[in-house]
Structure 1
Amino acid sequence: MLNRAKQSGTHAIAAILLILGLITAPTVHAQDENEDAKVKGRIQKLINGQQPKSLEDVVALEEQVTKLVPDLMKATVGIRVGPAQGSGVIVGTEGYVLTAAHVAGRPNRRAFIILEDGTAITGETLGLNNTIDAGVIKITQEDWDPNNWPHAEIGNSDSVKLGQWCIAMGHPGGFQPDRNPVVRFGRVIHKYHDVVTTDCTLIGGDSGGPLFDLTGKVIGIHSRIGPELTHNVHVPISAYKNESWDRMLAGERWGDAPRAPFIGVRGSSEEGNCLIAEVIEGSPASVAGIKPNDVIIKFANEKISNFDSLILAVGIRRPGEIVDVVVQRGDEEVALQLTIAQAGGVNPEDSEGQEQEENSNDDKDQPDKSDDSRSRLPLQPQLVDEQDGIASEKAVDLSLQSVSWIRSIMMLKPAGLYERNHVTIRQAFDKVIEKSGECTVRITSGKQSLALGTIVSEKGYIITKASQLKGDKVRGDIECVFADGSKRPIEIAAINEQHDIALLKVNGKRKLVAVQIADDVEVPIIGSWVITPGLSSTPLTIGVVSTKPRAIKGGLLGVLLGESEESVFVERVFPGSAADRAKMNRGDVILSVNGKEVENRQMLIDLVRSHLPGETLKFKIKRGEEQVEIDATLGRESDVFGSEALPRGDIGGPLSERRSGFPAVFQHDTVVKPNECGGPLLDTNGKMIGMNIARAGRVSSYGLSAKIVAEVITSLMAEAEGDESADKDE
C-alpha cells in the first residue's frame, strides 16, 4: 500500500501520466494501424500486378510467395493416364482434380494421381471440353477423406489483369520421385476470353498443372506453349464453372481444339522491317485493309521491327481476337483493326458447339490418340494458309530444322512491359547489386563471350563454369572483363570436374572486391528470389528457386521408348547415343536393367536417370524369339543433341553442353544463356547463395549451393597455391 505522506505527489505524477497515456496511447496505436494498413495496401497492390518500386516491395513479394508455396505444392499432383503423363490440381473437398483435356484423353479411363510425397491414388477421367482443353478427373480411392487431403481453392480468372503476378506449378517431363512440384513465378502478359498467357515457363508434363494467383487460388490450368519462352498458355478457371462444369461432371466430351492463329500475309525480314509482300484474298489481313508494300509497325500495341517479330506477335493471339494494327503506307501511318482467324479457313465460332459422340461403346474401344505431345509442340502461328499452298518458310515451319532463327530472336528480344524480366522490374533490385559490390566479371576469348565469373578472393581468384572454357569457343587467350570495362589476362589455376568449376587467377595488380558468401544459407527456400548480376548496376535477370537440391545424374541411353500392356520396347535409336554404340535395335523389348525387372516405361526411365554419364548398365533384351544381354555405357544429352534443346519442339533456347552429372543442384526458373553461367546467384541481401552452373532446359537453370561452392573454392585455392609454392621452390 502507498504511504499516505507521499500520496499527493504521487497522485499528481499519476494524473500527469494518466493524461499522457490517454492522449498518447491511442495515437501510437493509430500510427501502428496506419503503418500496417499501408503495408497491407502495398502488398495488395503488388499482388494485383503493380510493379515493385523498391527492394522493400521485392522482399514483400518474396515473403508472400514463400508463405504460399508449401500448401500449394501439396495440392499439385502428377497424373498418369495410360502412357501419357501430365499434372493436375485437387480442388475442393469432393475429390475432383482439374487437368487439361489432352492429358485425360477421354471419359471413363482409369487414372493414377501422384501426390507430392509420391503416393499414387486411383481416379477416373470425367468429361472434357476439347475446344479450350479443359478436363476433370474424380478421385476414386476408397480411403478418400476430404478432411485430411490437400486441396486448393478456385479463384476468379475474369478479374485477372495484365501484369498480375502468378505462380505456376507442375511436373515438367513427368513426375520424378526426387523432385517436388516445380515452382515458377511470373506475370500475366496476355488475356482473352478462353486463354490466359504468362511468362511462367512450361514444358511437356506440366500440362494440366495449376496457375495460382498470389492469394493461393487457382486461376488457370496449363494447356500448351508457344514459340517464345514467354508464350505459356493456360485455360482460365472460368472454363470449369457453371454449365461447363456440370457437363464435365456428367462425363460429356465436346468441341475441337482450335487451330493455329492465321492472318494471311507473306513477307520477309531481309529489308530490316516488316514489309508485306503479299496479302491472301479474303484473309483477315485483306478484310482489315492491309495491302502489299505496307510496312506493319505495330500489332496489338506491340512494336514490330521485322517479319520475324510479327510471327511471334501473331503466335500469342487467339482465333476470334480483335487486334489493332498500325501500318506505314508511304508517308502515312494507317490504323486498322484485324480479327484473327484459324488456319484452314475455319472461323473460331464454327468450332464452338461441335460435339463429338460422348461415351459411345465404340469410342471406348478405340486406341487412345491423346498424349502430351500438344504441350510439347510450339503453337505454330500461320501468317498464311497452308491449304492455299502458299506458305512462308519462316511463318509455318517451326520444326527442329528451322528453330535457330526464332531462338535467336527470343533470346535477344527485350522483355515486354508485363514480363517479369522487364527492365523496370529489374531496376527494383538495383540495391541488391549495390550491396554485393562489383563481384561479377565476364570471361572472354577474342570476341567470344565464354561465361560470367565470380570474384572470390582479393588475391585475384575468380571462379566460373569450367566446361565453357573448352572446345572451339576458345579462340585465343582468355581474358577477364571488369564492370568498368577494363580487361586483364587470366589463367586457369585449378579445375573441379565433379561440379564443373574452374578457378582462375588474374594476372597483373588490381584491387578486387570478393563476393560475400551467405554461409548461413545451406539450402535456398523454394519460391525465394535468385538474382543474376551482370556488369551493370541493374541485374542481368531474375528468377525464383523452383526445387530443393537433388542429384542430376542424367545418364542418357538415347532411345525413344514405346509401351504396351505387356512390355516396354525401343521405338527409335538416336545415332551416336549409348544405345547406338551398344547395337540396340528398333523393336527390342527391354526386360531388365542390372538384373532389375522393368515393369513399365517410367520405371525404365527412372532406372537409367539414376546413373551418371559414363556408367555401364547391363540390359536384358528380347529380340524376336531370343534373349540377349547388352552392356551400354551411358552418355550425355550433348553427345546426341549438342547444346541444342531436346528434339521436342519446346524451343527452350541454347542449353549448356554440360548440364548433367551434378551431385547436388537446385533448380530455378531464371532464363540464362549458357555464356551467362559461372556468375553468382544473389539473395535480396546481396549475398551469394549459389552459382549459376547450367542452362538445362526450357523451364530450368541449375544452381550450386553456396555451401558446395565455398567448399570447392577452399579446395581449389589450396591446390592452386600449393602449385605456386612448388613452382617457387623449383
Structure 2
Amino acid sequence: MERFSRLYALGAVLITILAGCEPVPAPKLAQTPDTAYQSSRPGAAQNGRPTLAPMLEAVLPAVVNISTTSAGNMRDSPMLKEPPSPGGFDESGIPRHGMSQQSLGSGVIVNGENGLILTSHHVIANGERVIVTLQDGRNFEAKVVGADPETDVAVVKIEAKNLKALRFGDSRSLRVGDFVVAIGSPFGLSQTVTSGIVSALGRSGLGIKRYEDYIQTDASINPGSSGGALVDLNGDLIGINTAIVGPAGGNVGIGFAIPSHLAQSVMQQLVENGEVHRGHLGVNLRDLPPELAKVLGLEPGKGVLIIQVQPNSPAAKAGLHPGDVVVSIDNAPVDSAGSLSNTVRLLRAGSEIKLDILREGKRRTVTARIDQAG
C-alpha cells in the first residue's frame, strides 16, 4: 500500500509539471491514400466521402441513347459478337426474327449549338431511322452527317435546343492506371455509369476494325454501351466506347474505347466532307526491335523502322530511306508502326508533316507532304 501511495504521488507531480509546459506539436503524418483521394479528386462531398456525383451531374445530360430501325441484320457489331441466349433474343436484347429490328446504342453530344453527336458507326449502320433520346426524355430523329466504318466513328445531328455538350480531353496524355468512367446504355439501360482504370493503351491487332489504337479499360462496358462516353475524373471526353471481349456476351473486365484525339480527327473530316480522306506517305514500317533500340540509345517501345519506301511517294520525295528510324512525327513521340500509320492515314492530302529520324546514328529532320491514298 505504501508503494502504491508513492507511485501515485510521483504521478501527481509529473502531471503538475507537464501541465505547465507548452504542448508538444503532434508529428505531421503523410496523407493516407483515402485522405489524398478525398482532397484531390473532383467532387469530394462535404462530409468527406469521395464521390463522382457532381462531375456526373454535369456530364450525364450529354450522353444519349440511340436506337435505329432497319430491315437488315443489325447483329454485326463488335459489341454483339456472342452466342445467342435462350428465349429468342441475343444478349443485346435484339429480336432474332422480324423484318424491322432495333439497334440500341449510345452517343455523346460534342457540339450543343449545332446538335452534333459522336457515336460508333456500327450503332447506326444500315439504320433507316436514327432516334436520339436525351436524358430529359426528349426524342429526336437524327440525320447522319457521316460515318467511317474503318475507325467505327460516326456523327449524327439533331435539331434541338438547350443541349449539354462534353468537351474533348487529351487522350494522348493518358497513362495506364488513370481513373476513368464509362457512360452509356448497356442492354438498353440508359444513363448507366461504371468506373475503372485505364488498363492499357494503343491496343491494336484485335481484328475489330482496320484502324485500331484503342484504350483498354476495366470499367464495365456491355452491349449497348457502344458510342457512349469514356471520361476522366474532370468529366472530359477521352474515348468513345466501342468493343468488348466477352465470350458470354457480358463484361469480363476487358473493354475498348476509341481515343478522343482519333475520334475528334475523324469527326472533323466527316463534318466538313461527309467522309474521311486517307493520307498516304508511302512507307512500309515495323516496330523497332528492342536490340536495335538499345544500340541506338532509344527506350524500348520507342521508334519505328522503315523497311521499304515506295517510288515517287511522299516519303521518297522527302528523302526517307529504308533503315531510317522514325522517332517522332510533328514533335509527338512514335511508339509503334500502327500508331504512325494511323496518324498518317487521318491527315488531309496536301498537309505537311515533320519527321524526326535517326540515320546511321545521327538525328535529322525531314518534311513530307502527304498525298491522298488511292
- Choose 1 or 2 for highest CA Rg: 1
TM-score by length of 2: 0.49
Higher relative contact order (CA 8 A, sep 6+): 2
TM-score by length of 1: 0.26
Structure (1/2) with the larger helix percentage: 1
